[in-house]
Chain A
Amino acid sequence: MREKAIYLLAILAALVMIPNLKTVFMDLPDEAMQGAIYRIIFIHVPAAINAQIFFTVSLITSILFLVKKNFVWDSISVSCIEVGTMLVLVNLVTGSIWGRNQWGIWWAWDLRMTSQLMCFLLYLGYLLVRPAIAEPTQRATLSAFVAIFAYADIPLVLMAIRLPNVRTQHPGPVLETGTMAKEFHAPFGLGVLAVFLICTALILIRQHQETAQREIDSLRRELHSI
């Protein structure tokens, strides 16, 4: 069942992504100011949007774990956070490369970038601390606690380019203000969908591993007790 779902997601992702890449690279015209480089938005922003989706899922499952104490929620949390952190890294690196081309610098310390880097470091901290906790229940509980604390940064990332009195170097929101041309909307949405499908498949794989890891832990305890 799970394997079938993973294969299905991967095939769907390919079906969405390959025609979409053709649209992005072959059909869409160059942007007037930026030339070819603007196409990075079709990976840069979907990575960020999906990271925030997965972090939101991890917030919900972390709360659910604390309330229900069911390890399924914990395994979903850790999988979402691992994939989400990877996506934030993609977002930061592609953004940095875009900035080197457009601004001439790799990095600027404005609120958007700082808060996103902070997000990366927070969830990296989560992934580093988690394996250091030996006892499974304690590991899940403490991780959920850290995940909820880390999520407090996400509203800051979202607000960073929308606050009226904050000057930021990062381009403003292009979707809701209508500054993005109509013909870019479809490839953009399909880009978000493609990343979502791929990463959901990765999350399913990771979650299965987490379950297997807990089985290993319990088998180890059983062996000790025999």
Chain B
Amino acid sequence: MKRGLITALAIAKKDLQTELRTKESINASASFALVILVLFSFAFDLGREELYAIAGGLLWLVFSFAGALIVNRSFARELPNDCLDVLIASPAPAWSIFLGKSVAAFFLLFIVELISLPVFGLFYNIHWTQNFPGLLLVMALATWGITVVGTAFSAVTVNIRLRELMLPVLLYPILIPLLIGAMGTTTALLQGEPMSGEAIASLRLLIGFDVIYTSLALYMIEFILIV
């Protein structure tokens, strides 16, 4: 158990290091997020009130698009030089490979979110700094949900045709409850409402989603990470 966690940490560190050296998926994902943000601002011509009402939805659409790009690379990164086969054949248990990759994807997506948040506030003139700790909490929970399910499905799609298309087809439907929860809470928090009532219920939904899918994925992953 402990050794597995250490291995997971090592794999996460390796993934983050290679990514921060090449910056290929984080650059693509961050610039994609920014482009989408700009495009959305042309799509709607909204007043201040309406803008605050859709802010959470807008933000999480952008984040989940960016997230799909990042988790797509999680396992695909290992394909050149047959690194994936070596990784699977190594004594590291499947769940720690998976956990490491999820953690790495989590941090990458979180960085992208932290980059796009100020840009979002700037373009749409939204005061995102009020309730910032609460916002961070929601972002952390929902981002973990996106990355853990995304990494699991990226392990499914890594070897198949049309990988980049198949991953979103599988990923987005399963994320619906998570996104509904995150969008609602984020909208409430951006409007300056305190964390209470419905927001707490949504937080519970996020935590439940994270717990269910994390344990399911950790348990199931050894069946599919096979050479």
Q: Once bound together, how far apart are the Cα atoms of A134 and B159, in whole Å?
A: 9
Q: Is B123 an interface residue (CB 8 A)?
A: no
Q: Mark B157-196, 1 if CB is under 8 A from A, else 0.
A: 1011110001001101110110010000000000000000
By the criterion CB–CB under 8 Å, are B176 and A118 in contact?
yes
Q: Which of B159, B173, B212, B220 has the most CB of A within 10 A?
A: B173
A223 to chain B, nearest CB (A): 22
By the criterion CB–CB under 8 Å, are A145 and B160 in contact?
no
Task: Tell me the total A-B contact number using a CB cutoff of 8 A.
Answer: 66
Given contacts A118-B176, A121-B173, A128-B166, contact A134 B224 (CB under 8 A): no
By the criterion CB–CB under 8 Å, are B220 and A145 in contact?
yes
Taking CB atoms, residues of chain B closer than 8 Å to A153 are 174
Q: Is A146 an interface residue (CB 8 A)?
A: yes
- A: contact size bracket: 20 to 34
B96 to chain A, nearest CB (A): 18
B172 to chain A, nearest CB (A): 8
Q: Which of B152, B162, B176 has the most CB of A within 10 A?
A: B176
By the criterion CB–CB under 8 Å, are B159 and A133 in contact?
yes
Looking at chain B's contact residues, the main secondary structure is helix
Q: Which of A90-138 contact B (CB under 8 A)?
A: 114-115, 118, 121-122, 125-126, 128-129, 132-134, 138
Given contacts A66-B223, A149-B152, contact A129 B174 (CB under 8 A): no
Q: Which of A115, A126, A141, A142 has the most CB of B within 10 A?
A: A142
Taking CB atoms, residues of chain B closer than 8 Å to A144 are 223
Q: Once bound together, how far apart are the Cα atoms of A133 and B157, in whole Å?
A: 9
Given contacts A118-B173, A125-B173, contact A146 B160 (CB under 8 A): no
Q: Is B132 an interface residue (CB 8 A)?
A: no
Q: Which of A125, A126, A152 has the most CB of B within 10 A?
A: A125
Question: Quick one: which of A129, A134, A141 contacts B166, CB cutoff 8 A?
Answer: A129
Q: Which of B210-227 contact A (CB under 8 A)?
A: 212-213, 216, 220, 223-224, 226
Q: Is A192 an interface residue (CB 8 A)?
A: no
Question: Quick one: which of A122, A134, A146 contacts B156, CB cutoff 8 A?
Answer: A146
Taking CB atoms, residues of chain B closer than 8 Å to A6 are none
B97 to chain A, nearest CB (A): 15
By the criterion CB–CB under 8 Å, are B224 and A141 in contact?
yes
By the criterion CB–CB under 8 Å, are B226 and A141 in contact?
yes
Q: Once bound together, how far apart are the Cα atoms of A144 and B223, in whole Å?
A: 10
Q: Once bound together, how far apart are the Cα atoms of A156 and B172, in whole Å?
A: 16
Given contacts A128-B166, A132-B162, contact A148 B157 (CB under 8 A): no
Q: Which of B36-92 contact A (CB under 8 A)?
A: none
B153 to chain A, nearest CB (A): 8
- CB nearest to B222 among chain A residues: A66
By the criterion CB–CB under 8 Å, are A145 and B173 in contact?
no
Q: Once bound together, how far apart are the Cα atoms of A103 and B180, in whole Å?
A: 24
Q: Once bound together, how far apart are the Cα atoms of A144 and B169, in whole Å?
A: 17
By the criterion CB–CB under 8 Å, are A148 and B173 in contact?
no
Q: Which of B119-153 contact A (CB under 8 A)?
A: 149, 152-153
By the criterion CB–CB under 8 Å, are A114 and B161 in contact?
no
Q: Once bound together, how far apart are the Cα atoms of A133 and B220, in whole Å?
A: 19
Question: Quick one: which of B170, B177, B216, B226 contacts A129, CB cutoff 8 A?
Answer: B170
- CB nearest to A145 among chain B residues: B224
- CB nearest to B149 among chain A residues: A149
Q: Once bound together, how far apart are the Cα atoms of A125 and B175, in whole Å?
A: 13
A74 to chain B, nearest CB (A): 13
Taking CB atoms, residues of chain A closer than 8 Å to B172 are 121
By the criterion CB–CB under 8 Å, are A145 and B156 in contact?
yes
Q: Which of A114, A133, A150 has the most CB of B within 10 A?
A: A133
Q: A132-B166, A145-B156 are in contact. List 14 more A-B contacts (CB 8 A).
A: A66-B220, A118-B174, A126-B170, A128-B169, A129-B156, A129-B169, A132-B161, A133-B159, A134-B161, A142-B156, A145-B152, A149-B174, A149-B220, A156-B177
Chain A residues within CB distance 8 Å of chain B: 66, 114-115, 118, 121-122, 125-126, 128-129, 132-134, 138, 141-142, 144-146, 148-150, 152-153, 156
